[in-house]
Amino acid sequence: MGYDDVITHLGDFGKYQKRIYFLVCLPAISCAFHKLAGVFLLAKPDFRCELPFEFGSDNLTYELPDNVWQLAYPKDPLTNKYLTCEYYNVSYSPDYLSGFSPPPASSEVSTVYCDKYVYDRSTWKNSAVTEWNMVCGRSFLSATSDSLFMLGVLLGSIIFGQMSDKYGRKPIFFASLVIQLIFGVLAAVSPEFITYTISRIIIGATTSGVFLVAYVIAMEMVGPSYRIFAGVVVMMFFSVGFMLTAAFAYFITDWRWLQIGLTLPGVLFMSYYWFIPESARWLLSKNRKQDAIANIEKAARVNKVKIPDDVLDNLLEDTTEVKDPLDTPKREPSVFDLLRYPNLRRKTLLIFFDWFVNSGTYYGLSWNTSNLGGNVLLNFVISGAVEIPAYTFLIFTLNRWGRRSILCGCMLTAGTALLLTVFVPDDMNWLIIVCAMIGKLAITSSYGTVYIFSAEQFPTVIRNVGLGASSMVARIGGILAPYFNLLSEVWKPLPLIIFGAMAFIGGLLSLLLPETHNKPMLETIEDGERFGKKVRQEDLLEQGEELKEVNLNRDDAEVNVMPNGNGVAKDS
């Protein structure tokens, strides 16, 4: 008898759980601020070289007369746009600029790469890019900053995840929050790029400590029947934070003040110390029965229910560990267990690829809004807004249509929409934005699905290891996404085409995974190896009653093998 039996009496989602759940969902908004802030902190406005006749001048503006553009900057023969990282190496005399001296032929004059720039400040007063000139040959620095931020997210999920299991959810949540506040302000006052980037790495790590720990607290207090709802709604709060980031950027156009503005709301969550309890599940796992019972009784009073004494007395009743015939006894599970057996290895690698594609495409599209053209802020808000219907779609379909159908269908839809941008004419930029937003909506749904689908594919004895490894692979996708977006400088649609191709391939490969909806939860590594395995009839005869749902009417029949575990699939 465990905490799930208490939930039965307490209520799957009673008044107390709703109150705490709402409070722990709010930090998702703050974490979205930090994860999406790079779009505006590293905003790259239009720019041009500072020309020799402008050296030493104050209050330079980006605008120039048309004839000066023609006299100063070469044109790209493919795009017919001015190359603003270089200018003609000529004497910019008054006669030349006024047109009395004819301009030289581009083939007869050399160009000079500049180290001073003039920026269009009509939208952004200042950004880290304009302050540290991260354009032209230094444009990779802004992509590197975003990439290292995602590396911080990866490290944080490992470090804070382990610490929350060891020291508790509540202390790690507040420790992460304090660190986030400190380095959020430090990033805003950073004197140079290295300090800024290190601060952002640490902020990225703390988003895992704040968001993931809050997510775990929320999920550990909700009953099984509400887990899909609770897991999806908390992501909607993240989407709200996504859209609110644009509101901050609209009113605060200096990147340093914007960073501070996005950090300070985290101070409000310090008050949670007096409202948020420690997870009763974690307390029970650490044998702190009395503390757990105190939390349970408080929840029961708020929910106006009575927990039977025998239920509370039996909370720590030992359970019999399931013996795994394929697992080596007395050995901690590792990711290598997922790769040791052929069928489990095949499914694991497919799941890893799905996580890589979903994370890379999701963050790539989220950060690419400034490269789509049109109104950057409006593009950004729409990109966040489409996530709400994407998550709502999951609430109503995950338990009806099946995980594989939704994952495959959404990834194929995202891939198709993004690949179609290659055929859109340059003068129909609105259609590119529409295709990109359809892709963002679809990939958001598939990203939400892959969490649940993966949890149901991995056996219980190694589920945490599998999800942890999947999350690490996902972060690699997020780390590479800024560099994919940088390719827009080569060809504007190229990042969308890369994301689209990956999503389309991932959707097709997802068909090779077995459906898990309404299937028993896998318990052992043997279950995981046998589930969805294609076997021959003579192999089935050897396994006898251990295998279920076998079609013996065909020679060399290929069938979906069901695990013989007990219970039903639980959403997590």
What's the pLDDT tens digit per position in 395-432? 899 888 989 999 999 999 999 999 999 999 888 999 99
- The pLDDT score that the predictor gives to residue 558 is 37
CATH architecture observed for domain 340-572: Up-down Bundle (1.20)
Does CATH place domain 1-45+121-319 in 3.40.50.300?
Answer: no
**Is residue 569 within 8 Å of 519, Cβ to Cβ?**
yes
51, 67, 93, 112 from 97: Cα distances, Å:
12, 8, 6, 18
**Is residue 523 within 8 Å of 459, Cβ to Cβ?**
yes
- The pLDDT score that the predictor gives to residue 203 is 97
Mean pLDDT of 338-353: 93
- The pLDDT score that the predictor gives to residue 418 is 97
Collapsing DSSP states into helix, strand and coil, what is residue 479?
Answer: helix
For the chain, the 3-state helix, strand and coil shares in percent, each to the nearest 5, are: 65, 5, 30
Q: Do domains 1-45+121-319 and 340-572 have the same CATH topology?
A: yes
Mean pLDDT of 62-68: 90
- The pLDDT score that the predictor gives to residue 100 is 65
pLDDT digits over 433-473, tens only?
Answer: 999 999 999 999 999 999 888 888 988 778 878 888 898 89
Residue 376 has phi, psi (to 5 degrees) of -60, -45
- The pLDDT score that the predictor gives to residue 121 is 92
| 187 band by pLDDT with thresholds 50, 70 and 90 | very high
| 565 band by pLDDT with thresholds 50, 70 and 90 | very low
Report percent pLDDT > 70 for the chain: 88
What is the domain partition of the chain in residue ranges? 1-45+121-319, 47-120, 340-572
3-state secondary structure 525-570: HHHHHHCCCCCCHHHHHHHHHHCECCCCCCCCCCCCCECCCCCCCC
pLDDT digits over 514-552, tens only?
Answer: 999 888 878 788 888 998 886 554 454 454 444 344 333
Better pLDDT: 335 or 260? 260
Mean pLDDT of 346-364: 96
**Is residue 312 within 8 Å of 293, Cβ to Cβ?**
yes
Residue 167 has pLDDT above 60, yes or no: yes
